[in-house]
Amino acid sequence: MNTEQVKGRAEEAVGKLKEVAGHVTGDKSLEAKGLAEQVIGKTRSTAGDIVEDVKDVAKGR
């Protein structure tokens, strides 16, 4: 696992917490920010997954 994967998954988790907190409190802005952070985190972790896949292919795995 590389740092982009870890950072991305952490950002997804923080985004989910914000989304739920926004939903519970009725704060649509916080809920939207949480959803946006989840998308950014997913993108970042996917980029990290691709880097790992490329490394594996380069190593012949």
Burial class (CB in 10 A: 0-12, 13-18, 19+), 60: exposed
User: The tokens 């959803």 sit on which residue?
Assistant: 35
Query: Binning pLDDT at 50, 70 and 90, where does residue 49 land?
Result: very high
CA 22 to chain CA mean position, Å: 18
What confidence tens digit (pLDDT) does each residue in 20-33 have? 999 999 999 999 99
This prediction has a pTM of: 0.86
Domain that includes residue 17, residue range? 3-58
Domain total of the chain:
1
In angstroms, the CA 48 to CA 56 distance is: 12
pLDDT mean over 44-53? 96
